Amino acid sequence: MKKEEKNNIVEQQPSQQGRRPQGRPGGGGGGGPFGAMMRPAEKAKDFKGTLKRLIRFLKPQRTQMIIMIFFTVIMTAMAVYAPNLMRNIMNLLQLIIIGTAESDAQSLIIKYFIAIIVLYVLRFILETISYLIANYVSVSLGKSFRNILRDKLERLPIKYFDEKQTGDILSVFSNDVDVVVNSIQQSLIQMIQAFLMLIGVLGMMFFISWKLTVIALVILPLYVITVSMIAKKSQSKFIRQQKGLGKINGYIEEIFTSHKVVKLFGKEQDSYAEFKVMNEELAGDMKSAQFLSGLIHPVMDFISNIGYVAVVMVGGILAGATNPLLIGDITTFISYQRMFVNPILNLANIVNMFQSTIAGAERIFDLLDAKEEEMDKAVETFVNREHLSGVEIKNVDFSYSPDKELIKNLNLKVEPGNQIAIVGPTGAGKTTLVNLLMRFYEIDKGTITIDNVLNTEVPREELRKQFGMVLQDTWLFAGTIRENISYGKEDATLEDVISACKQAHVHHFIETLENGYDTLLKEDASNISQGQKQLLTIARAILFNPRILILDEATSSVDTRTEAYIQNAMNFMMEGRTSFVIAHRLSTIKKASTILVMEHGQIVEQGNHKDLLEKNGVYADLYNSQFLNIAT
């Protein structure tokens, strides 16, 4: 739904607004350099397909990616070749000491030193440029994803938001996009470097001594077996840690949002005791997980040291052979041996992280693939039509899902200017009915007309501009009071805004504020009362001046005096305007032209307040039960 389409909707919040964001589970502990490898990676359902699609998203940055990869190849080659220059220097120094060096040995040493310095400087420059490019690519990708996702949300039907939790949608925007962006920024260069380093270092090891290389590779299975064993053992611990962390975070949020209730019932000690148990369990799981992930480093060092000892022993033997190895050969080989292990561990870490990245990208693409609201082909308009706003519903069937019918053969005719009150239990179809009027949902069968025009023949944007809505759950954004009231009618003058506020009985309150209409409202307008919020939304609706008004439970959570103000403002707003009022407080709808009593998607009773009481049916039961409760 585009912003222009929302302008007329004074109050509309997603059905899951109050739910806690359901973010992805976090590890809660790094576990050292091998933490990512120890934690279980979240896997995508279609890894290959998602990866291909993600690569297509990187096409606009193809040139930068090619440059980055090229620089990464060059700087990795430099990193691999640098120890070989040191090897030459050390070998020349050894030959000088034993007196077998050639006459130009010292000048060669100087040249090698200069070459090493130049090599490291160039590598620093290339590495800096590569990371700057990676940062640019990742930021561009994040910006592109957010723009596309925001545009996608505009085209999704209300049904999508009713079926999804708000937290899951927010998590795609924040968590999943950040995971993908950070992976591109941090992991891509590391992955390329690790892979090339592995090949380059192995080649240099064979170049120095194939015999020593075979010995070094014999140690390799020990690395793999050890890492696999510890990783397998620690993953179950990390899963328990993730679950425990999620549980304790949810509990803390619940306690703080219900802090007054906890104090009211004197449950502070019980609450603390419950928290203490969860915290102890989490601490135990974290200790186990961190111990296992921390254990891998000393174990790997131990295995590495065994390998170095073996290389030194064999190297010493080979040093006395027919084709002896020099000291520089042996020490450089050990350096390469250390360099050979790190890329293996880095690749294991990166692959694990990359699986989570693709899983995040898959959720992004799932949202992008969600079925959109059907394109409008309607051309009718209300612009030149007489301001009547009669509504007729004929033989309408509707269901949220094929196997669960909600409304069956609904018929209703509303004369222009009438006030229609809709009452009934939760799930009766009251709110669904007004959603069908505005085409937030499409009917399965039948017709809905406004001033003899089918609502399907009018573009949704044009249709929704005919409606104004005031809900119990007010929606006000962080901004000035004037900006909030003129939302949807930005061309309104201050005089127009003041006039609407006077009619809504909220002008006096605004005048008491230090900055008046320029007073800044906090997020969710938490610096004003619930009743004041509702009066502001009524002022917004009055300013917008819709043809049809929808009031949904607008007075069910305020005090009696404020309710009277709100009721007077609503009566003024409804005067001469077709209105639909959904309310549980039946005292507020006595003057309605027609009262519809709905049950299971059907209108079971219809008439004015007096007639329905005389029928002594469902409405009379509802009315009497409310006033009997008040009396008792």
Q: What local confidence, expressed as pLDDT, does residue 29 receive?
A: 45
Beta strands in 553-629 (DSSP E): 578-582, 594-599, 602-607
Beta strands in 402-498 (DSSP E): 404-414, 419-423, 445-450, 453-454, 467-471, 479-480
pLDDT tens-digit profile of 377-398?
Answer: 666 666 555 666 788 999 998 8
The torsion region of residue 583 among left (phi > 0), alpha (psi -120 to 50) and beta comes to beta
Predicted local distance difference test score (pLDDT) of residue 385? 58
Residue 459 and residue 376: Cα distance in Å, rounded?
6
| pLDDT given at position 161 | 84
CATH number at residue 174: 1.20.1560.10
With DSSP H G I counted as helix, E B as strand and the rest as coil, what are the percentages for the chain, rounded to 5? 65, 10, 25
Angle, helix 188-208 to helix 210-257, in steps of 10 degrees:
160
In this predicted structure, which of 11-15, 116-120, 267-271, 345-349 has the lowest mean pLDDT?
11-15
Answer for the pair 44, 62: CB distance below 8 angstroms, yes or no. Answer: no
- Please indicate, yes or no, if residue 81 is contained in any of the structural domains: yes
The CA distance from 36 to 346, in Å, is: 10
User: Does 615 reside within a domain?
Assistant: no
For the segment 29-33, the average pLDDT, to the nearest whole number, is 47
pLDDT band at 18 (very low <50, low <70, confident <90, very high): very low
Give the lowest-confidence range in 423-427, 464-468, 558-562: 558-562
How far apart, in whole angstroms, are the C-alpha atoms of residue 316 and residue 514? 87
Confidence label for 19 from pLDDT (cuts 50, 70 and 90): very low
Please check whether residue 21 is in contact with residue 167, taking contact to mean a CB–CB distance below 8 angstroms: yes
Mean pLDDT calculated for residue range 498-512: 90
Range of 175's domain?
Answer: 46-207
Q: Is residue 378 part of a domain?
A: no
Is the pLDDT at 234 greater than 60, yes or no?
Answer: yes
Number of domains observed in the structure of the chain:
1
- Using the predicted structure, report yes or no on whether residue 40 has a pLDDT greater than 60: no
Residue 29 near residue 241 (C-beta atoms within 8 A):
yes
Q: Give the phi and the psi of residue 128 in degrees, each rounded to 5.
A: -60, -45
Is residue 621 over pLDDT 70? Answer: yes
Most confident range (mean pLDDT) of 243-252, 314-323, 485-494, 525-534 is: 485-494
CA 48, CA 66: separation in Å to the nearest integer?
22
CA atoms within 13 A on the CB side of 563: 12
Residue 246 included in any domain: no
Query: Would the pLDDT of 600 be above 70?
Result: yes
Q: Is residue 570 within 8 Å of 585, Cβ to Cβ?
A: no
Residue 298 lies in a domain: no
Q: Greater confidence, 297 or 41?
A: 297
State how far the Cα of 331 lies from the Cα of 335, in Å rounded to an integer.
Answer: 6
**β-strands 391-401, 445-450 pairing:** antiparallel
Bridge pairing between strands 445-450 and 453-454: antiparallel
Cα separation, 168 vs 20, whole angstroms: 9
Q: How confident is the model at residue 111 (pLDDT cuts 50, 70, 90)?
A: very high
**What is residue 17's predicted lDDT score, i.e. its pLDDT?**
37
Mean pLDDT for the chain overall = 80
**pLDDT tens-digit profile of 183-216?**
877 777 888 888 899 999 999 989 988 888 888 8
Amino acid identity, residue 559? D
Summarize pLDDT for 350-364 with one digit per residue, the tens. Answer: 777 777 788 888 889
Quick one: pLDDT band at residue 21, thresholds 50, 70, 90? very low
What is the helix (H) or strand (E) element at residue 327, kind and residue range? Answer: helix 327-368
Comparing 6 with 376, the larger pLDDT belongs to 376
- Label residue 517 by pLDDT band (50, 70, 90): very high
CA dihedral 529, 530, 534, 539 (to 10 degrees): 10
Report the candidate in 438, 442, 458 with the shortest Cα–Cα distance to residue 371: 442
Q: Is the pLDDT confidence value at 407 over 90?
A: no
- Which residues lie closer than 8 Å to 181 by C-beta, 6 or more apart? 138, 139, 141, 142, 145
Grouping H, G, I as helix, E, B as strand and the rest as coil, residue 615 is helix
- Distance (Å, rounded) from C-alpha 176 to C-alpha 169? 10
Question: In whole angstroms, what is the distance from residue 352 CA to residue 144 CA?
Answer: 25
For residue 39, name the pLDDT band (cuts at 50, 70, 90): low
Does residue 73 fall inside a structural domain? yes
Domain membership flag for residue 512? no
pLDDT of amino acid 354? 79
List the one residue out of 438, 500, 490 whose CA is nearest residue 465. Answer: 438
CA distance 14 to 167: 11
> Is residue 241 helix, strand or coil?
helix
Give the integer Cα–Cα distance in Å for 567 and 578: 16
Task: Give the chain's end-to-end CA distance (angstroms, integer).
Answer: 47
- On the question of pLDDT at 118 being above 90, the answer is yes
What confidence category does residue 77 fall into, taking pLDDT thresholds of 50, 70 and 90? very high
Does the reported pTM lie above 0.95? Answer: no
Examine the pLDDT at 320 and tell me if it is beyond 70.
Answer: no
In degrees rounded to 5, what are phi and psi of residue 604?
A: -90, -25
Nearest to 275 by CA among 250, 302, 257: 250
CA 298 and chain centroid, separation? 38
Cα gap 420→606, rounded to integer Å: 10
**pLDDT above 70 coverage of the chain, percent:** 88
CA distance linking residue 485 with residue 376, whole number of Å: 29
pLDDT at 2 over 60: no
- Local structure of 547: helix, strand or coil: coil
Which pairing describes strands 453-454 and 602-607: parallel, antiparallel, or unpaired?
unpaired
Taking a C-beta distance cutoff of 8 angstroms, is the pair 34, 293 a contact?
Answer: yes
User: Identity (one letter) of the amino acid at 285?
Assistant: D
Counting beta carbons within 10 angstroms of the beta carbon of residue 105, is it exposed (0 to 12), middle (13 to 18) or buried (19 or more)? middle
Whether 523 is covered by a domain: the verdict is no
The answer to whether residues 589 and 609 touch, using CB atoms and an 8 Å cutoff, is: yes
